[in-house]
């Protein structure tokens, strides 16, 4: 349709200017466009094929073998790597840790972030300063984050010990204690993720029409009623989006545990991607690590598909 239009305009301008090129025939133009399209998208599709799509197939393939990534020969194991996962106690511990990290972090982070967003969702002095400070950990280099928090958690000279002492508590030996290593990682994750969730909630709140609040006020609704009967249901698409993206983010956690605790002590703070990394690049068990990677892929895919399905049904607009 637009090609016809182009052609007519082209004919007009041709007559006017006289030096514009002759409009190409429709078929020639279509062929030229097809070639242009392929040329324009080729770099991206080439890279995606080699470094994104192919790895899924190759992971699946490798997961049926025993291989140390160096030897020429791979030993076929059929499903033994998957069976090994089921009987590997560390695997289940790592899964439990990862799910605990995801669950606790998501609930606490989103809870605090929502409260902050509701507080900031009005014209007030210092609003953008508050927003900027709370958001600032979002882009902060995770390695540097792990460094400073590692120092804050220091059981002897750490800053956290000061606050614990104010509360009359002794500092746990965070990274050496099987009960405290994972909570330490959770604390860092909450600190890092709070600002992002708050900003997304603020965007969601901005989308709720002001008239609804006016109506609620006219009807004499209390602040609590307004929040639970109006704000919270209308915010459900945002909340749902954040829950899903935060869970997926937590499943992929690597940097902070890898640097702060290296998964220890006794794997008490080991998480999925770190365990995958250890299997692949520390113990050179490429087959087992590929099986782990594939299970992670399927898990994240399942969450994404469920999200696509449910976001149509669960979310109240």
Partner 1 sequence: MKDVDRSRGILASLLTHLVLVAVCVAVGLPFFWMVTTSIKGPTEVQIFPPVWWPETPRFDNFAVAWDAAPFGRFYLNSLIVTGTGVVLEILIASLSAYAFARIRFRFRELLFLVMLAAMMIPGQVALIPNYVTLKHLGWINRYAGLVIPHVSSVFGAFLLRQAILSMPADLFDAAHIDGLGHLRCMLSIALPLARPVVATLALYLFIAKWNDYLWPLIITNTQNMRTLPVGLSMVQKAEYIIGPEHLMAASLFVLVPVLVVFFAAQKQLIEGIAAGALKG
Residues 213-272 that bind partner 1 (CB under 8 A): 241, 248, 252, 254-255, 258-259
Residue 172 CB, nearest approach to partner 1 (Å): 15
* Binding of partner 1 by 314 (CB under 8 A): no
Interface with partner 1: number of residues (CB under 8 A): 105
Bridge partner residues of 15 (DSSP)? none
- Please report, as residue ranges, which positions from 26 to 85 form the binding site for partner 1 (by CB under 8 A): 30, 33-34, 36-38, 40-41, 43-45, 47-48, 50-56, 58-59, 62, 69
Choice between 30 and 310, CB closer to partner 1: 30
Residue span 122-151 as binding mask against partner 1, x where in contact by CB under 8 A, dash where not: --xxx-x-xxxxxxxxxxxxxxxxxxxxxx
Residue 4 binds partner 1, judged by CB under 8 A: no
Q: Between residue 78 and residue 107, which ones bind partner 1 under the rule CB under 8 A?
A: none
Angular region, 78: left φ>0, alpha ψ -120 to 50, beta rest: left
The DSSP annotation for 9-33 comes to HHHHHHHHHS-SPPPPPHHHHHHHH
Can you spell out the DSSP letters for 171-210? PP-GGG-TTTHHHHHHHHHHHHHHHHHHHHHHHHHHTS-H
Alpha carbon of 267 to those of 105, 258, 284: distances in Å? 19, 11, 18
Q: How far is residue 237 CA from its own chain's centroid?
A: 17
Separation of alpha carbons 254 and 52, rounded Å = 19
Rounded to whole angstroms, how far apart are CA atoms 239 and 44?
A: 33
Interaction mask 168-207, partner 1, x per CB under 8 A: -----------------------x--xxx--xx-xxx--x
CB of 229 to partner 1, least distance (A): 20
Binding mask 268-297 for partner 1 (x = CB under 8 A): -----x--xx--xx----x--xx--xx-xx
């Amino acid at each position: 349709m637009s090609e016809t239009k182009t052609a007519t305009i082209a004919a007009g301008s041709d007559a006017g200017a006289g030096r514009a090129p002759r409009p190409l025939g429709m078929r020639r133009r279509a062929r030229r466009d097809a070639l242009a399209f392929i040329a324009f998208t080729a770099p991206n599709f080439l890279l995606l094929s080699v470094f994104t799509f192919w790895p899924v197939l190759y992971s699946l393939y490798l997961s049926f073998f025993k291989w140390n990534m160096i030897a020429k020969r791979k030993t076929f194991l059929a499903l033994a790597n998957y069976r090994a996962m089921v009987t590997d106690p560390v695997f289940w511990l790592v899964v439990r840790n990862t799910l605990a990290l995801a669950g606790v972090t998501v609930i606490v982070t989103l809870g605090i972030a929502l409260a902050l967003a509701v507080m900031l969702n009005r014209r007030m002095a210092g609003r953008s300063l508050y927003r900027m400070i709370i958001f600032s950990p979002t882009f902060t280099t995770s390695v540097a984050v792990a460094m400073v928090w590692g120092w804050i958690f220091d059981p002897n000279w750490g800053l956290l010990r000061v606050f614990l002492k104010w509360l009359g508590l002794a500092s746990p030996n965070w990274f050496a204690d099987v009960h405290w290593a994972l909570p330490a990682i959770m604390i860092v994750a909450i600190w890092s993720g709070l600002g992002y969730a708050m900003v997304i909630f603020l965007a969601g709140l901005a989308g709720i029409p002001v008239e609804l609040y006016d109506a609620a006020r006219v009807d004499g609704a209390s602040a609590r009623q307004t929040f639970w009967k109006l704000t919270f249901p209308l915010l459900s698409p945002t909340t749902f989006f954040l829950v899903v993206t935060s869970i997926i983010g937590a499943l992929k956690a690597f940097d902070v545990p890898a640097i702060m605790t290296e998964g220890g002590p006794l794997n008490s703070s080991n998480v999925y991607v770190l365990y995958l990394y250890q299997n692949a690049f520390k113990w050179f068990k490429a087959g087992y690590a590929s099986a782990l990677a594939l299970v992670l892929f399927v898990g994240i895919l399942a969450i994404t598909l469920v999200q696509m399905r449910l976001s149509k049904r669960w979310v109240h607009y």
